[in-house]
Amino acid sequence: MGEILVRTTLSVIKADVGSLVGHHVVHPEQIACAEKSLSEAKETGLIYDYRVTNCGDDLQLIMTHRKGEENPEIHRLAWETFKKATEVSKQLGLYAAGQDLLSEAFSGNLKGMGPGYAEIEFEERPSEPVIVFMADKTEPGAFNLPLYKIFADPFSTAGLVIDPNMHEGFKFQILDVIEDNVYELKTPEESYDLLALIGTTGRYIIKRILRKADNLVAAVVSVTRLSLIAGRYVGKDDPVAIVRAQHGLPAVGEVLEPFSFPHLVAGWMRGSHYGPLMPVPQKYARCTRFDGPPRIIAFGFQIKDSKLIGPSDLFDDPAFDMTRMKAQEIADYMRRHGPFMPERLGPEEMEYTTLPKVLEKLKVKK
Ligand code: F6R
Ligand code: MG
Ligand code: MG
């Protein structure tokens, strides 16, 4: 008899269900409440392991299990946990209690219900390093640039040239969030086509990346667009992503390298401004200046027998100090434009904010 291969699923599910002092930071009692809920689920055997954290005002549930992606029981667990944390928000009078829970009742799957999620089901390699990225005050398209660099730019990922297991390249699945189409493009041969799409970060979003040689799933991004789901602005779709690393995939350092450039992303203040994405240790995932600037944290784990070993707080490193300084310089420069583009988003993106209401009033004044 051959060895029975275990398929583990890593699910990262997040929601903003209220926070301390405006849209600033998750309250420790919300974390404790979520921890309790997931520890009970671990005891029943539904999940194998979990970590609870936050990136700014987003409560993050990191879970391992063996139920596969989009599993109703796992999604229900996350939903119920967010409901409980919303109760804490209400008791403490936290701001925007339950803001991302768009529906009253759970109906089998979190798709379109408000919380964002990234999930990967895989056969554990003998050693399985993964990185969970969590960002606040931005949108899923913020991952387009760094993911392109990680999986398609040899000036960033040396392994694309040097490692024979990666040399064939990767396949990128792109979601058009407006038309709901999915494209699949291969690198290196279709990289110009790929860039033609993913440069439009508010519309074409990298959803999944597979290794071309064997279809191994290397990365996934949460692709919910809260604003579009609700048909009006209800909060942002602060994204999460999972990237697997090493042994025929980009090394951990190659995965982190693109974040040394604090690129401009949409989502700062009122979901309506561009700001630099600043990589920070978890303790600094607290958005203050102009409700930002946008932040990203990275938790590294080893996964063993569906258990989470770690995290290592990967941006907690002076090697990113210069990036953080640069981000602040850029933040300052962008802020000097005040309400003018390109600090403020362009009109197509502002459609999903509260600006149209203001413009509506002007029509009456004409
Ligand atoms: C929310 C966010 C904030 C809010 C802003 C206004 O995550 O980024 O910038 O958009 O604080 O919030 P309200 O309209 O709730 O007062
Ligand atoms: Mg918020
Ligand atoms: Mg947020």
Q: Give Cα 255 distance to the centre of its chain.
A: 15
Three-state secondary structure call for residue 61: strand
Quickly state the pLDDT bin for 332 (edges 50, 70, 90): very high
Sequence-separated (6 or more) residues with CB below 8 Å from residue 2:
none
Q: In the annotation, is 57 catalytic?
A: no
Q: How many residues does the chain have?
A: 366
pLDDT digits (tens, 9 = 90+) for 351-360: 778 888 888 8
Chain-centroid distance of CA 325 in Å reads 23
Mutate to test the pocket of ligand 1, among 238, 270, 343, 344 (most ligand atoms within 8 A of CB): 270
pLDDT over 80 (residue 235): no
Q: Is the pLDDT of residue 193 over 80?
A: yes
Contact assessment for residue 216 and residue 168, using Cβ atoms and an 8 Å cutoff: no
Higher pLDDT, 231 or 98: 98
Quickly state the pLDDT bin for 2 (edges 50, 70, 90): low
Would you call 94 helix, strand, or coil by DSSP? coil
First vs last C-alpha separation in the chain: 80
- The arithmetic mean of pLDDT across residues 254-258, rounded, is 98
pLDDT reported for residue 342: 97
234 pLDDT tier (thresholds 50, 70, 90): low
Average pLDDT, the chain: 94
Distance between Cα 236 and ligand 1 center (Å): 9
Asked if 16 is an active-site residue, the reply is yes
**Burial group, residue 239, by CB count within 10 angstroms (0-12, 13-18, 19+):** buried
pLDDT of residue 245 exceeding 60: yes
Q: Are 218 and 209 in contact (CB under 8 A)?
A: yes
DSSP sequence for 252-268: HHHHHGGGGS--EEEEH
Q: What is the mean pLDDT of residues 291-314?
A: 98
Comparing C-alpha atoms, which of 190, 155, 153, 158 is closest to residue 173? 190
117 tagged catalytic: no
**pLDDT value, residue 6:** 79
**In which band, very low, low, confident or very high, does the pLDDT at 107 lie, cut at 50, 70 and 90?**
confident
Side-chain-facing half-sphere of 255: CA atoms under 13 Å = 25
Active-site residue, from 14, 137, 171, 236:
236
Is the shortest distance between the CB of 22 and ligand 1 below 6 Å? yes
Burial of 217 (0-12, 13-18, 19+ CB in 10 A): middle
Ligand 2 geometric centre to CA of 17 (Å): 8
The confidence score (pLDDT) of residue 79 equals 97
Per-residue pLDDT tens over the stretch 55-91: 999 999 999 999 999 999 999 999 999 999 999 999 9
User: Band of the pLDDT at 106, cuts 50, 70, 90?
Assistant: confident
User: What does the pLDDT read at residue 272?
Assistant: 94
The Cβ of residue 325 has, within 10 Å, a number of other Cβ atoms equal to: 12
Ligand 3 center from residue 135 Cα (angstroms): 8
Mean pLDDT of the 144-167 span: 97
Which residues have beta carbons under 5 A from ligand 2 (an ion)?
16, 23, 57
Instruction: Quote the pLDDT of residue 4.
Output: 66
What secondary structure letter does DSSP report for 165? Answer: T
Per residue in 37-62, pLDDT (tens digit) is: 999 999 999 999 999 999 999 999 99
Q: What residues pair up with 55 in beta bridges, in sequence order? A: 58
For residue 180, name the pLDDT band (cuts at 50, 70, 90).
confident
| Lookup: tokens for 238 | 């602060």
What per-residue confidence (pLDDT) applies to 353? 81
